Amino acid sequence: MWDVAILLDVLTDLFMHLISRWLTHISVTTLLSASHIASASPLTILPTLKLPALHAGDVVLIALHCYVCRVISETTDSPYNHSGLILDTDLGLSSRVAQSLQSTQDLSLSEFLHQAGKTSPVKILRPRELANSFKADREAYESSTVLLNRVFALEMRGRAFDENYLWNNVDTDGNELLYCSEMIQKTLNHVLARPLTTTALDYSRHWDFWLNYFDGKVPQGEPGNSPASLANADQLMTIFEGILDTAH
């Protein structure tokens, strides 16, 4: 006969595991679905937020409001849990942004920001090397942005999202899987003389959640990155910080 206390513990663990996986599925495939993005009103976004002139290679950090997104923010001690890479120069809200979410794709900056819902902190980072070449050697800067776009188009676009957040992870066909900040770092490193580096991922905050999320095999200490590590990278400088507010 099963001991009642043991049986309750087993059922509780099973329930928490199922809830964790269900919330993950809802977060990634429903709340952030293409239909949600399409239902936004990009022409009405940012009525009061004045963005600087944007350059190809800029990194945009925002906060999405799904359950897993909030856990990522708390785990990495950062208000930011999603990131995108600007592909155009001086096109404002019409700039194309590369992102990995469900799959690796590009969309307008307006659409990208609208994924955050009514409010979100926003930070925009610029690679110092590209900022310097933009001022001192425009031809070199243009060559870098051409390469940036080529790398995204040929090596990144269309890749599936990596829900396991593993560096150099691949699917059963050998195609690389990418999460948002990983795609950005790997794309930028093709044009940076001083490449961005990985960090040891730390899942100690919300350990029980991640233990369920990863089916008991948390990749603690494995190399990777996050929107938080991009925000702290020496190679990137902040050119804008503000609050996205479309509630009014």
Write out pLDDT tens, residues 179-203. Answer: 999 999 999 999 999 999 999 999 9
* C-beta neighbour count of 189 within 10 angstroms: 15
The residue range of the domain holding 212 is 4-245
The tokens of 181 are what?
A: 């900040």
With CA atoms as reference, report the closest residue to 82 among 184, 160, 150, 164. Answer: 184
Report the CATH number at residue 170. 3.90.1720.10
Query: Going by DSSP bridges, is the β-strand pair 103-108/82-86 parallel, antiparallel, or unpaired?
Result: unpaired
pTM: 0.83
d(CA 12, CA 154): 46
Residues of the chain with pLDDT under 50: 6-7, 10, 14-15, 17-45, 47
**pLDDT confidence of residue 3:** 59
Tell me the pLDDT tens digit for each residue of 9-44.
545 554 454 444 444 444 443 334 433 333 334 434
Domain count, the chain: 1
